[in-house]
């Protein structure tokens, strides 16, 4: 590849010879499928026979999916008793393309959804920090109190809290009772999950952090506030974004207490004959927002690799928290005190098609 | 104290036919039943999705990934409203018999579909805990695919998946309250709303009754799963 240049040292060659296009390009990646095959714990790399079986399976799979889509489509296109028209009829879908539907229903509804979720997540972080630190406090009464609060709000269904708060705030002549019921219910629930993350994050920091804080004479509270919690918080940031997704999803529960969120808007607009059409829009909007948020959480988790000591995977699994927060903490890799990734050290490849936990790949 | 006695009278009111007006324990029993049914649906579906998700067949994997991504990001309330307003009302899907039976079955289907994706993810994280060396060793001693899956990989995977499955089950227990959105009128959140409407003096007590009921269900279940996952964890 490199032309012969006589009587030059290697260093000189480097100056003399312009880099070839091959050098500047990245090393060719293995095809995705090949990487998958060698990383699967259950499956060997396929031989010619297995490859044939896989190809046949693929064709059958595609046919099955196509058939399912066709069957559902055909079923929807049939006129039903109530609507007298097929569900795919333009007359029914037209509603989603009227400007009123957006300016009067979807957009205000979406704004209310986002408003409730964002206010709640800020509240949740404050609540979580307060009670997370409370659970680590040295004073026993403080610890017990925080324990009881956190365990209680984590165990009670959010919907029950919303219904209670709605009635309660309403009877107290509180302004906008349904908005505040949604926000407070989401705050205390997500806050207690965050409190658990704070506690787990702090307990899971390397001992050296704690010892160093002791050594320079910080009190316990000073150590928590100045050394331990900030690190735990940084490590938790992706999990907090995951919690925002949870809050967004749970804000839809506001329907039960007639909070005018996106779902409620779609429900009202779709009554009585267009529910399928309007709820589809609401569902798609929710899915897109949550998917993008989830992705940005993963991206953040990838960016923050090695910035701090992290929540241990194993430890995070033991906290009985909401599943979405769990999947977020599963994205965090254990990194030991010197910044080495434990998984790299053990040389365990992140086999399997890990689309969701992209950052987990070495 | 007087309030408590009054509250007790309120809770134990009877209908003319002698049955309880507000059947609080019965409401919790409905939620537990919903949890068991929906949990069974979610387990079966979730296992199928997992099998598709880790199979070498690309099209199946794509379908399973699509399904999990959709149901992970859609709010449960939307699923339940779709079940009620779209599947039942607009499309007229019915299982014969009474309206309440339809609502009950559709609520189970909605809850099952929603939690299936979380079960699949939990199982997948369990499979992820099995080191590659285990499967390689199994092959090295001559086990076939089925043998290594049955005896080596899957047992370890299930043991590794207990903690996340426990989390999903706990979420399911609490999420069964959303069945009221689907029209199941006998479960806790619906009964609680009914009680709050008539017993305006006891709003806090009514809420506490139901909340403590959930604490008493959820915390032991959580402790059981934590214990089980610790006992059954594969030491590595």
Do A83 and A118 fall within a single domain?
Answer: no
Do A57 and A99 fall within a single domain?
Answer: no
Helix H or strand E segment including A167: helix A158-171
What's the total number of domains in chain A? 2
Cβ <8 Å between A318 and B178: no
Q: Are A167 and A283 in contact (CB under 8 A)?
A: no
Question: Which of B202, B180, B205 is closest to B191 using CA atoms?
Answer: B180
Cβ <8 Å between A291 and B69: yes
At what angle are helices B58-73 and A275-303 packed, to 10 degrees? 100
At what angle are helices B154-175 and B24-54 packed, to 10 degrees? 140
DSSP per-residue codes, B27-83: HHHHHHHHHHHHHHHHHHHHHHHHHHHHSS-HHHHHHHHHHHHHHHHS-HHHHHHII
A18 inside domain: no
Q: State the pLDDT at residue B130.
A: 87
Cβ <8 Å between B132 and A39: yes
Nearest-CA distance from A12 to chain B in Å? 46
> Confidence class of residue A37 from pLDDT cuts 50, 70 and 90?
very low
Q: State the pLDDT at residue A317.
A: 46
Which residue range is the domain that position A71 belongs to?
A: 47-91
A38 inside domain: no
Phi-psi region of A217 (alpha: psi -120 to 50; beta: other; left: phi over 0): left
Q: State the pLDDT at residue B210.
A: 95
- Measured between beta carbons, the chain B residues lying within 8 angstroms of A65 are 59, 63
> Confidence class of residue A327 from pLDDT cuts 50, 70 and 90?
very low
Cβ <8 Å between A156 and B211: yes
Q: State the pLDDT at residue A84.
A: 65
Sign of the alpha-carbon torsion through A316, A321, A323, A328: negative
> Confidence class of residue A297 from pLDDT cuts 50, 70 and 90?
confident
> Confidence class of residue A40 from pLDDT cuts 50, 70 and 90?
low
Q: Set out the domains of chain B in order of their start, with CATH numbers.
A: 27-232 (1.10.3720.10)
Do A176 and A61 fall within a single domain?
Answer: no
| Residue A246 burial class via C-beta count within 10 angstroms: exposed 0-12, middle 13-18, buried 19 and up | buried
Omega into A272 within 30° of 0, i.e. cis? yes
A24 inside domain: no
In whole angstroms, what is the distance from residue A212 CA to residue A359 CA? 31
- Measured between beta carbons, the chain B residues lying within 8 angstroms of A56 are none
The terminus-to-terminus CA distance of chain B in angstroms comes to 56
Do A189 and A284 fall within a single domain?
Answer: yes
Q: State the pLDDT at residue A217.
A: 92
Sign of the alpha-carbon torsion through A23, A24, A25, A26: positive
A215 inside domain: yes
Do A80 and A157 fall within a single domain?
Answer: no
CATH value at residue A162: 1.10.3720.10
Task: Please tell me whether residue A78 adopts helix, strand or coil conformation.
Answer: coil
Q: What is the pLDDT of residues B111-155, one digit of tens each?
A: 999 999 999 999 998 888 888 888 889 889 998 888 888 898 888
Task: Please tell me whether residue A188 adopts helix, strand or coil conformation.
Answer: helix
pLDDT(B104) > 60: yes
Do A190 and A108 fall within a single domain?
Answer: yes
- Among the partner-chain residues A157, A245, A248, the one whose CB lies closest to the CB of B177 is A157
Do A120 and A151 fall within a single domain?
Answer: yes
Q: What is the CA radius of gyration of chain B?
A: 22
Q: Are B119 and B97 in contact (CB under 8 A)?
A: no
Do A113 and A240 fall within a single domain?
Answer: yes
In whole angstroms, what is the distance from residue A286 CA to residue B139 CA? 45
The model's pTM is 0.81
A42 inside domain: no
> Confidence class of residue B199 from pLDDT cuts 50, 70 and 90?
confident
Do A263 and A274 fall within a single domain?
Answer: yes
> Confidence class of residue A165 from pLDDT cuts 50, 70 and 90?
very high
Do A334 and A187 fall within a single domain?
Answer: yes
Mean pLDDT of A168-174: 91
A11 inside domain: no
Q: State the pLDDT at residue A13.
A: 41
The two three-digit tokens of residue B150, written as one number: 């049955």
ipTM exceeding 0.85, yes/no: yes
> Confidence class of residue A247 from pLDDT cuts 50, 70 and 90?
very high
Chain A within 8 Å of B75 (Cβ-Cβ)? yes
Q: Are B33 and B104 in contact (CB under 8 A)?
A: no
pLDDT(A210) > 90: no
A330 inside domain: yes
Do A106 and A165 fall within a single domain?
Answer: yes
Q: Are A189 and A157 in contact (CB under 8 A)?
A: no
Query: End of a domain among A73, A91, A109?
Result: A91
A239 inside domain: yes
Do A64 and A165 fall within a single domain?
Answer: no
Query: End of a domain among A91, A126, A155?
Result: A91
Question: Which of A246, A156, A263, A262 is closest to A197 using CA atoms?
Answer: A246
Cα angle A351-A357-A361, degrees, rounded to a multiple of 5: 45
């Amino acid at each position: 590849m490199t032309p012969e240049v006589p009587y030059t040292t290697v260093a000189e060659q480097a100056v003399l010879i312009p880099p070839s296009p091959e050098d500047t390009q990245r090393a060719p990646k293995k095809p995705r499928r090949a990487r998958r095959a060698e990383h699967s714990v259950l499956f060997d790399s396929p031989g010619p026979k297995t490859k044939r079986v896989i190809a046949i399976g693929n064709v059958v799979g595609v046919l099955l999916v196509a058939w399912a889509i066709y069957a559902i489509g055909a079923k929807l296109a049939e006129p039903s008793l109530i609507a007298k028209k097929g569900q795919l009829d333009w007359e029914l879908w037209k509603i989603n393309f009227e400007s009123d539907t957006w300016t009067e229903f979807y957009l205000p509804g979406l704004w209310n959804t986002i408003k409730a979720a964002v206010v709640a997540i800020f509240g949740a972080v404050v609540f979580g920090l307060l009670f997370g630190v409370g659970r680590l406090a040295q004073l026993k009464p403080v610890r017990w109190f925080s324990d009881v609060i956190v365990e209680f709000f984590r165990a009670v269904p959010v919907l029950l809290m919303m219904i209670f708060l709605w009635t309660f705030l309403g009877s107290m002549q509180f302004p906008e009772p349904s908005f505040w019921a949604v926000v407070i219910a989401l705050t205390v629930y997500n806050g207690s999950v965050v409190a658990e993350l704070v506690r787990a994050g702090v307990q899971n920091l390397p001992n050296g952090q704690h010892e160093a804080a002791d050594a320079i004479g910080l009190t316990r509270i000073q150590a928590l506030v100045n050394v331990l919690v900030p690190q735990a918080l940084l490590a938790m940031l992706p999990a907090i974004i995951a919690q925002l997704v949870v809050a967004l999803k749970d804000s839809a529960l506001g329907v039960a207490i007639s909070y005018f969120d996106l779902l409620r808007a779609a429900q009202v607009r779709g009554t009585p004959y267009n529910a399928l059409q309007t709820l589809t829009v609401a569902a798609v909007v929710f899915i897109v927002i949550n998917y993008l948020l989830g992705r940005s959480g993963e991206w953040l988790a990838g960016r923050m690799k090695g910035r701090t000591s992290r929540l241990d995977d194993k430890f995070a699994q033991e906290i009985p928290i909401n599943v979405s927060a769990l999947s977020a903490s599963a994205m965090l890799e254990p990194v030991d005190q010197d910044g080495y990734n434990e998984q790299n050290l053990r040389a365990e490849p992140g086999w399997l098609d890990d689309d969701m936990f992209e950052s987990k790949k070495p | 104290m007087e309030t408590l006695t009054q509250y007790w009278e309120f809770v134990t009111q009877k209908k003319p036919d002698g049955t309880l007006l507000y059947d609080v324990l019965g409401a919790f029993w409905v939620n537990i039943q919903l949890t068991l049914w929906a949990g069974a649906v979610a387990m079966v579906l979730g296992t199928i999705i997992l099998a598709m998700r880790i199979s070498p067949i690309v099209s199946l994997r794509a379908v399973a990934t699509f399904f999990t991504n959709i149901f992970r990001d859609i709010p449960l309330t939307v699923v339940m409203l779709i079940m009620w307003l779209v599947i039942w009302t607009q499309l007229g899907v019915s299982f014969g018999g009474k309206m309440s039976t339809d609502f009950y079955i559709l609520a189970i289907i909605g809850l099952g579909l929603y939690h299936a994706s979380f079960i699949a993810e939990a199982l997948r994280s369990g499979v992820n805990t099995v080191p590659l060396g285990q499967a390689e060793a199994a092959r090295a001693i001559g086990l076939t695919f089925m043998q290594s899956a049955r005896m080596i990989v899957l047992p370890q995977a299930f043991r590794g998946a207990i903690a996340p499955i426990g989390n999903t089950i706990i979420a399911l227990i609490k999420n069964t309250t959303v069945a009221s959105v689907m029209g199941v009128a006998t479960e806790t959140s619906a009964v609680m709303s009914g009680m709050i409407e008539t017993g305006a003096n006891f709003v806090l007590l009514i809420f506490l009754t139901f909340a403590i009921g959930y604490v008493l269900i959820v915390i032991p279940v959580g402790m059981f799963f934590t214990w089980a996952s610790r006992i059954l964890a594969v030491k590595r």
